[in-house]
Every structure is written in C-alpha cells, then in structure tokens.
Amino acid sequence: MGCKRPRLAPHVVLRFDRRRNEHQLVGPEVLVRLDETASAILSLCDGRTLDDVCRELGLTYARCDRGDVERFLLELHRRKWVCDADA
C-alpha cells in the first residue's frame, strides 16, 4: 500500500453537509461526495494501521474486505488526499 498508517492529508477535511445530507471530502479545488462506507473508512484514517481500520469497520459492517479498503486508500493516496502518518 502507499501508506502503512493512513491519515487524511493536511489539505483535506472530511465533513458532513447537513443541507445536502451527504459526507464530503473537501480540499483546495476539490469536493468529493462520499457514500457511507467511504466516509466510515476515512473517519478511521487517523494514523492507525490498515489492520486496525479493518478491524474497526468489522464492528460496524457484517463484512470488511481488507483488499477493497486497501485499494480505496491506495487510490486516495495516489490523488494525495491520504498520506502516511509516519511520513
């Protein structure tokens, strides 16, 4: 994976827009509407390990596919929206 201990990059924030009733990832010149699962994953990206993120998701969701979570975070890392807490 691009980072072992994912966290949101300093220039993006995760928020909930009450008016639109949607989760969003917001940064300079970007607003990404997130579904509930994407928001749940990103809310756990605070420097804990990928295994810890998956374990926590497993408490809420009946199934947590580590590969899916890793691919999702890898794509966000590629876009520079997620970085490694150890970097």
Using pLDDT thresholds of 50, 70 and 90, give the confidence band for residue 71. very high
Domain range annotation of the chain: 6-82
Query: What is the value of pTM for the model shown?
Result: 0.91
CB 5 within 8 A of CB 44: no
What is the CATH number assigned to the segment(s) 6-82? 1.10.10.1150
Q: How far apart are CA 28 and CA 19, in angstroms?
A: 21
How high is the pLDDT of residue 2? Answer: 67
Q: What would the pLDDT profile of 16-67 be if each residue is shown by its tens digit?
A: 999 999 999 999 999 999 999 999 999 999 999 999 999 999 999 988 899 9
